[in-house]
Amino acid sequence: MLVALVAVFIAGYICIAMEHSIKIDKSATALLLGMLMWVLFILGADSIPYVVEQAAQHGYDVSHLTDYINQVEIIGHLGDISSTLFFLIGAMTIVELIDSHGGFTIITRHITTRHKLRLVWILSFITFFMSSVLDNLTTAIVMVMLLRKLINDQHERWLYASMIIIAANAGGAWSPIGDITTIMLWVNNNVTTGALMTYVLVPSLTAVIVPLLFISFKLRGQLPAITAKDEDGVANFVSPKERSALFYLGVGGLIFVPIFKTVTHLPPFVGMLFVLGIIWIYTELMYNKKALTNGPQNRLSRILQRIDMPTILFFLGILMAVAVLQATGILGSMADWLDEKVHNIYIINVLLGCISSIIDNVPLVAAAMGMYEIVPFDQVPDLLAASDIYRLNFVQDGGFWLLLSYCAGVGGSMLIIGSAAGVVVMGLEKMNFGWYLKHISWLALLGYLAGAAILIAELIMFPPIHTFHGF
């Protein structure tokens, strides 16, 4: 059964990659893939020892495996997936609201260059540092909307959108609130803010600069002049002051989300929907104060109808498929095999980064955190005395956790469906999987390996256990 599940996953993955050749929308393929894997899972659950063992731990015997899958596995995974989807819906709605009222002109009017090379560097660095404050998913959505204001031609935007994916993933890897995986490691006390920023910032920056340097040799000339967008309709019902207010309220709300999560300890989607509710009420009050002719089309209730549902369903299908790999123990077995056969934190993490370009990094990091426990500090003197360098890597701020943060986050850029940022950009820009694989994947790989090499060198020359904890 496990072989069948892996085979179906690979077949579905290939169909997604060949979307334009087979002429079937990737969202349809992903949705069918996710549901089919759950059907196969529940039909063959009794033949999977790991599932039987997990069910027993939850109080279900073999005769009630169906109840276990329906009441524990599906509900649990769907809860996690729904958190991501509602977060995405909230972020997309806020960004679309800002855009529909011309709010992004506040930024785009300051980006006056039409030089292709200069523009890609500017956008990449904006994305990199924005992603360290916002999450990479939200950052990708915001930057794609900005990109549409700067470049009219869709295919011309693909290269810039690809660098946004790379920069967003890299920017989220060195900040404790920049990515779901770093949040997981930070909240669980695997890493601290100081160590994460000290060790991972330069490698993450390298992962962006290396692709940019290669692009610099090919990207020449000027972009065509921007075709003026008709904003008279917007100007008729939204004043410049109101436009600015919506922009700062929306962007400020997005920045507030990680703060909300830190203070309340609630999932990020709660903060996102909280902000959405505030903005919704604000716009309703704004429109109610004046007589409008075409304003109602830009009310938030109308904007919700413009949300890209195929992208949402693509997310659902992919994450549900990956959930089966996690629920059946396939991901955990993969981690166990790496630890047993490789037993080298540098190679293990580099390989996990490569795997994260295929499988969502969240379950990968969760599997790694479940497999390896944090070594208490009171054991450090004994480990130092015994020269047990391997186990020292698993203390708080140990080399394994810092490498995991970098590799899981940055490695997802090697394939366009390897990260949430990549998936959402792929959906918004209708980007071709094959095009990304041919033109961008190797650049992302070079940047990833260069950054990993720098981080490994840092860990060898300046062990964090000595640097941050005085041993």
Rounded to 5 degrees, φ, ψ at 375 are: -75, 125
Determine which of 125-129, 202-206, 252-256, 442-446 has the lowest per-residue pLDDT on average: 252-256
Output b/e per residue, 1-15; b: 16+ Cβ within 10 A. ebeebeebbeebbeb
Is 60 exceeded by the pLDDT of residue 234?
no
Arithmetic mean of pLDDT, 253-267: 81
Q: How far apart are CA 286 and CA 279, in angstroms?
A: 10
DSSP-H helix ranges across 224-308: 232-237, 240-264, 268-288, 300-303
Rounded to 5 degrees, φ, ψ at 222 are: -110, 150
Is 90 exceeded by the pLDDT of residue 458?
yes
Closest of 19, 9, 92, 76 to residue 312, by C-alpha: 92
Identify the three-state secondary structure at position 97.
Answer: helix
Q: How far apart are CA 123 and CA 125, in angstroms?
A: 6
Hey, what's the torsion of the CAs at 349, 353, 358, 364, to 10 degrees? 50
Question: For position 299, what pLDDT does the model report?
Answer: 77
Question: For position 407, what pLDDT does the model report?
Answer: 93
Q: State how far the alpha carbon of 448 is from the alpha carbons of 131, 166, 410, 443, in Å.
A: 17, 10, 6, 9
Domain ranges of the chain: 83-184+215-309
Question: For position 102, what pLDDT does the model report?
Answer: 75
Winning range, highest mean pLDDT, from 48-52, 58-62, 211-215, 370-374: 211-215
**Residues in CB range of 352: below 8 A, 6 or more apart:** 335, 338, 364, 368, 404, 407, 408, 411
The pLDDT > 90 percentage for the chain reads: 20
Report whether 395 contacts 459 (CB < 8 A): no
Question: For position 232, what pLDDT does the model report?
Answer: 43
Query: Can you give the three-state secondary structure of 389-435, one letter per residue?
Result: HHHHCCECCCHHHHHHHHHHHHHHHHCCCCCHHHHHHHHHHCCCHHH
What is the per-residue DSSP string for 104-133? Answer: THHHHTT----BHHHHHHHHHHHHHHHHTT
Entry pTM: 0.74
Q: pLDDT tens across 64-118, in order?
A: 888 888 888 888 888 878 887 888 788 888 888 887 777 777 777 777 777 888 8
Report the mean per-residue pLDDT for the chain: 83
Is 80 exceeded by the pLDDT of residue 120?
yes
Determine which of 137-146, 220-229, 231-240, 383-392 has the lowest per-residue pLDDT on average: 231-240
Is 80 exceeded by the pLDDT of residue 366?
no
Report whether 368 contacts 332 (CB < 8 A): no
Is 50 exceeded by the pLDDT of residue 230?
no
Closest of 324, 320, 319 to residue 42, by C-alpha: 324
Is 60 exceeded by the pLDDT of residue 440?
yes
Write the DSSP symbol of residue 48.
-
